[in-house]
A and B are shown apart, each in its own frame.
Chain A
Amino acid sequence: MNEPKPPAPGAANRPHRDRPDPNRPTPNDPARPAGAGGPLRNQAGVGQLRQRQSAQPGGRPQGQGQGMRPQGQRAGGQGQGAGGQRAQGGGQPRKQPARRPPGPPIRLETANYVVRSIEHGDVNEDYRDWTHDQEIMAGVNSAPTQMTIEDMHKYVDRFDNRNSFHFGIFDKNAGNRMIGFYVIYRDRRHNLAQTNVVIGDKNYWGKAVVLETRSAVLDFLFDVVKVGKIWGNPMVRNIRSVFNYKAQGFVAEGVLRRHRVDPDGKRVDQVMFGLLPEDWERQRKILAETGKLPQEPKK
């Protein structure tokens, strides 16, 4: 969400949201891991994913030069770059590798929410309006966008459910209405995941939605996708986002001074948070023991 265009709905999070990769060509995108085990995980969804991953060459990093970028992948990015240049120089056209089809949709479940891959049918006026909302977008250090429903369908299509994920957050206690979303990218070379989250419905701010739902996402990324680390980089003054990282055991690895420019043109500090599998394993136990992670639906 840091770049002005195209205004993607997924890059930032508001009071609860993480930072997009500053180097990413698309604006507004987060990434984050999840694991297995525990009541937060949807067994059916995880099983599906395991099947999917076993069918692909390993969920392993595949030597792409620069992490994973949905746009590049969509355009047949793997195998392009250096390979493509060699083919040109050698005079013989090199056959482009077939584009790998997207993985099946992912579905995770917590006590109160379903977190699942967003489909075209989920893109509605509420979702569109979140990206137009100055207050929501300010939380992710982005200016409001002018995306249309059609723009958002194209945006949704960019995620491959293998190395990039766009998850909606649906409230089970409110007719499965979507209240926010995640954007997750996996860097295959280094096997990292970055997540961003936006809680679009302001009635849910301060309701621990991120703490509950991101726990499922962390489980998924660590236990199923098997990433080696998850990271996020909110603005330092996005206090609620900083809180969420700390509550989930992320370690502040460094402050990037005046590293970003906010929508008003002011330079602002950013913080790098990282989470290793052992950090999450330890923190998850503590959260379960202290009851901060809901195990039962809200009354």
Chain B
Amino acid sequence: MNPADRARKLLAEALEVDPAQLPADASVTTMQEWDSLAHLRLIEAMERELSGELPPEMVVSIGSLDDVVRVISERALA
């Protein structure tokens, strides 16, 4: 699965929505479902998926679907 698909799957699970319903511009500002608890679920799921705690700079950078894709891509290269 490529980073974009992995990101979409992880975010959809955290927000408890259908992946197909996730808009391309999904963000903490635009989605009602993206609340503080969903955010916590997302970070925990990403760390499970990526096998380890994310660096602090990455943790504080995540606020949109694009950010999730970027972090997954960067971790895959690391």
Interface positions of A (Cβ within 8 A of B): 15-16, 205-206, 208, 210, 236-237, 239-240, 242-244, 246-247, 249, 252, 255, 257, 269, 271, 283, 286-287, 290-292
Q: How far is the CA of A113 from the CA of B12 in the complex (A)?
A: 30
Q: How far is the CA of A276 from the CA of B28 in the complex (A)?
A: 19
- Is the Cβ of A239 less than 8 Å from the Cβ of B39? yes
Q: B35: shortest Cβ distance to chain A, in Å?
A: 6
Interface SS, B side: loop
Interface residue? B56 (CB, 8 A):
yes
* Most B-side CB within 10 Å, residue of A15, A236, A246, A255: A246
- Is the Cβ of A236 less than 8 Å from the Cβ of B59? yes
Q: A250: shortest Cβ distance to chain B, in Å?
A: 10
- Is the Cβ of A291 less than 8 Å from the Cβ of B36? no
* Most A-side CB within 10 Å, residue of B28, B30, B32, B61: B28
Residues of the A chain whose Cβ atoms lie less than 8 Å from the Cβ of B39? 239-240, 242-243
Considering the complex, give the chain A residue whose CB is closest to the CB of B40: A239
Interface positions of B (Cβ within 8 A of A): 28-32, 34-37, 39-40, 43, 56-57, 59-63
- Is the Cβ of A236 less than 8 Å from the Cβ of B36? no
Residues of the B chain whose Cβ atoms lie less than 8 Å from the Cβ of A292? 29-30, 32
Q: How far is the CA of A98 from the CA of B31 in the complex (A)?
A: 52
Q: How far is the CA of A16 from the CA of B39 in the complex (A)?
A: 13
Q: A285: shortest Cβ distance to chain B, in Å?
A: 10
Residues of the A chain whose Cβ atoms lie less than 8 Å from the Cβ of B30? 286, 290, 292
* Most A-side CB within 10 Å, residue of B32, B39, B43, B62: B39
Q: A256: shortest Cβ distance to chain B, in Å?
A: 9
Q: How far is the CA of A16 from the CA of B37 in the complex (A)?
A: 11
Partner of B29, one of A16, A240, A257, A283: A283
* Most A-side CB within 10 Å, residue of B31, B32, B34, B59: B59
